Amino acid sequence: MSSTTKTVYLNLSEITEVHSQDVYVKDVAKIYCSDTNIQNKCECVKVKHIKEDKDHRYVENALDVIEKLEALDTSIQVNNIGKVEYIIDYQTPKPPKYLWQWTKTIFVCVVCFFGAAFAIMTFNNDANVRDVFQELYRLVTGNEADGFTILDLTYSIGLALGIIIFFNHFAKWKINTDPTPLEVEMRLYEDNISKTLIQNDGRKEQGIDVQ
């Protein structure tokens, strides 16, 4: 390796959302080089121009980025430490629609609340929790339960605490630094979407895409 060779470390993100039709290296990757001038030049290299002004996801290859970077200067050697294939998620610039966003949020909250309540009620009915509590109350106190008992109260409180602890989240507060189950599922969903897009793109090029 020549003493004048400059190593550029390229770390491409798996998927990046952009709103400009001209996409640069700095938009989709992190660049590091000991020479800050070369690093700045590499960050400003255009990797793609999106012709169609509509929402779309484009599957790209790191080799194209490496080729463009090394074409800048013969002394540059690119070391890719990120993804080999990456996705550019182009979203057309849109004005914020706060009313629609709040409407969707409230709708999802209402569906989740009543859906969870219905699921809990059906479980209680299937397991006959009410009769179990009444029987436990009779065995412990020797009297028949004639309404709401301490068992119902503690069960309700315990159920709420259990949900909060399990989901590790209440309003803006988290019990610990671990990601919540919902965050984990969302990341898994995003990973599956990215892998599917990349695999579908490869299959289409080979003419074996499943329709």
* pLDDT tens sequence across 14-43: 999 999 999 999 999 999 999 999 999 999
Q: Which range (15-29, 58-72, 120-134, 139-153) has the least confidence?
A: 139-153
Q: What is the pLDDT of residue 211?
A: 52
Provide, rounded to the nearest whole percent, the portion of the chain with pLDDT above 70. Answer: 93
DSSP state of 148: -
- Phi and psi for 12 in degrees, rounded to 5? -85, 135
Residue of 80, 49, 76, 46 lying closest to 63 (CA atoms): 80
Q: What is the pLDDT of residues 41-51, one digit of tens each?
A: 999 999 999 99
Helices (H) and strands (E) in the chain, counts: 7, 8
Whether residue 93 contacts residue 21, with contact meaning beta carbons closer than 8 Å, is answered with: no
- The band of 65, judged by pLDDT with boundaries at 50, 70 and 90, is very high
CA 164 to chain centre: 21
Q: What is the pLDDT of residue 175?
A: 74
Q: What is the pLDDT of residue 207?
A: 55
pLDDT higher at 172 or 90: 90
- pTM across the whole model: 0.69
CA distance 70 to 78: 7
- Mean pLDDT across the chain: 86
Q: What is the mean pLDDT of residues 72-86?
A: 90
Residue of 19, 15, 21 lying closest to 201 (CA atoms): 15
Whether residue 65 contacts residue 29, with contact meaning beta carbons closer than 8 Å, is answered with: yes
- The band of 146, judged by pLDDT with boundaries at 50, 70 and 90, is confident
Q: What is the pLDDT of residue 1?
A: 44
Q: What is the pLDDT of residue 149?
A: 81
